[in-house]
Amino acid sequence: MHWLLALSLLASWVQVGGVSAGLKAQVNQKGLEYGNQFGMRMAASMLKKNPIPDIHGSHNMPLLGDVQYSVTRLQVDKLQLDDSTVGFSKGLGVNVTIRNGYVLLRGNWKLKTLFGRDGGTVDIHVHQLSLSALLGLGKELTGRPKVWAARCRAATGGILLKFHGGNSWFYNRFTSVLETLLESKLNKQLCLELKKGVDDIAQVLRAMNVSIQIDSFVELDYSFVNKPVFGVDRCHVDLKGEFFALGQPRVNFFTPSPFVLPKQPGSMFLLGISEFFANSAASVYFIAGVLQRNYTDEMIPRGFPFHLNTDSVGMLIPELEEKFPDRPLQVLLGARKPPVLSFHPDGVHVTAFGSIDVGVLLPNGSVASAFLLHIDGNFTGQFLLESVNSGNSIGKLLGAVHLKG
């Protein structure tokens, strides 16, 4: 029953009150139903691979006396879970309901009766399988998600046994008693197996990493800052959404401000990115030195009409060519301080604080400073995600940037 958690995890979890977040995610009912289709397919795959506990017992039966039975090496041969629904439970978690399920199990049987021992193979047809479970979702103190089986009810509408091998022609006449016993055991076992599966995954979640390395410079912390909030048709989660320098002590440059995701019930999934998220990334990349680039003449194509040397710059700055004739230049482009980003209805406003530091490369390998320019610019950017026909991509990021001043 591990697969049931997959349905809920697809429901990524806007918090009212609590700690402000850098990232917010919202899954609506439409997205949860899409996740249900994926979950059912995964359920069929996992149930066919996972071992099923053996069944042992004894019962006094007419003509046969005290019968000791065992059913071992059970495997799922067929599984139909088409009639399944998922929904949000306000303030609690995710409801998972399965109706009219069908399972065909195949395994080995052994009987010990007054007439001796016998065995063979057996088909177990489980009809009208129903299961209703409430999965609770919350937050650990470490910021990791936690899950538990808050409620479970399970039942079967009937079990049909068919023995093969041995004296199966005789024992098939007495299957009704064993069918009743197996149905009772199965009804009790279903919710126990569900709880066991959820507990196993909860253990994995307690050890999961809640930060991801973006590149060789920074990592992103996406731990939960508040517990998930469930409405009747959506669920929300608040994530830290803060960047840090990789392998360095964590320093907080900003404090996130509250923001709210819009209501878009026709959407499956909403992701909200805050100014805190964007400015956190800009500051960390600035400190890591990523927002600087050094250019030399070797990086310019030979056929290009302008080259980084004092002869080319001499028409603009004759004194430079006179003092350093025919010497290569290096140009350091970079940010003097972190760019500042703010979000507005017309797009993302960016204020950049740049510099151009030009130096002359001397024969002894040293660099003589030529001139330094400070250039500040205001930009407006607009971005959109265009869908693509690829199974490995969620879309293509497009954008336009306009210089304001």
| CA distance linking residue 335 with residue 402, whole number of Å | 19
**Cα pseudo-dihedral 9, 10, 16, 19, rounded to 10:** 60
d(CA 234, CA 26) in angstroms, rounded, equals: 7
Under 8 Å between Cβ of 251 and 16: no
Rounded to an integer, what distance in angstroms lies between the CA atom of residue 339 and that of residue 290?
12
- pLDDT greater than 90 at residue 80: no
Task: Look at 56-70, 119-133, 332-346 and tell me which has the smallest mean pLDDT.
Answer: 56-70
- Specify the DSSP element, H or E, that contains 301: none
CA 302 to chain centre: 48
DSSP code at position 320: H
- The whole-angstrom separation of Cα 232 and Cα 25 is 16
Q: Is the separation of the CB atoms in 134 and 89 below 8 Å?
A: yes
Helix (H) or strand (E) holding 400: strand 396-403
Both tokens assigned to 207: 């050890």
- Tell me the pLDDT of the chain averaged across its residues: 85
Q: CA end-to-end span of the chain, whole Å?
A: 60
3-state SS of the chain: helix, strand, coil percent to 5? Answer: 25, 45, 30
Cα separation, 405 vs 401, in Å, equals 12
Residue 80: CB atoms within 10 A of its CB come to 13
Q: What is the DSSP string of 328-367?
A: BEEEEEEEEEEEEEEEETTEEEEEEEEEEEEEEE-TTS-E
Query: Over 60: is that where the pLDDT of 158 sits?
Result: yes
Is 60 exceeded by the pLDDT of residue 17? no
Residue 357 has which token pair?
A: 């530091």
Encoded tokens for 14: 């806007």
When pLDDT is averaged across residues 36-51 and rounded to a whole number, the result is 73
Helix H or strand E segment including 293: strand 292-296
Residue 391: predicted pLDDT:
64
User: Between these two residues, 286 and 48, which has the higher pLDDT value?
Assistant: 286
Q: Which of 41-55, 165-179, 246-260, 327-341 has the lowest mean pLDDT?
A: 41-55
**How large is the average pLDDT for residues 311-319?**
84
Tokens of 187: 């009804």
Please tell me which of 46-50, 282-286, 305-309 the model is most confident about, judged by mean pLDDT: 282-286
Distances (CA, A) of 224 to 23, 28, 135: 10, 19, 18
Q: Which domains does the chain have, with CATH numbers?
A: 3-13+27-206 (3.15.10.10), 291-405 (3.15.20.10)
pLDDT at 241 over 80: yes
Q: What is the pLDDT of residues 245-302, one digit of tens each?
A: 988 888 888 888 888 888 787 888 899 999 999 999 999 999 988 999 999 888 888 8
pLDDT tens digit string along 321-338? 889 998 999 999 999 999
Pair 240, 23: CB distance under 8 Å:
yes
Quote the percentage of the chain above a pLDDT of 90. Answer: 37
pLDDT at 405 over 90: no
Tokens of 284: 């960390």
Strands (E), 114-224: 116-139, 145-155, 158-164, 211-213, 218-221
pLDDT in tens, 356-396: 999 999 999 899 998 899 999 999 988 887 877 766 666 78
CA distance 61 to 66: 6
Instruction: Judge contact between 234 and 29, C-beta under 8 A.
Output: yes
pLDDT tens column, 202-234:
998 999 999 999 999 999 999 999 999 999 989
Token pair of 283 as six digits:
């500051």
Report whether 233 contacts 250 (CB < 8 A): no
Please report, as a single letter, which amino acid is at residue 6.
A
Q: Locate 5 and state its tokens.
A: 């958690």
- Res. 18 pLDDT band, cuts 50 70 90: low
Return the DSSP state at 267: -
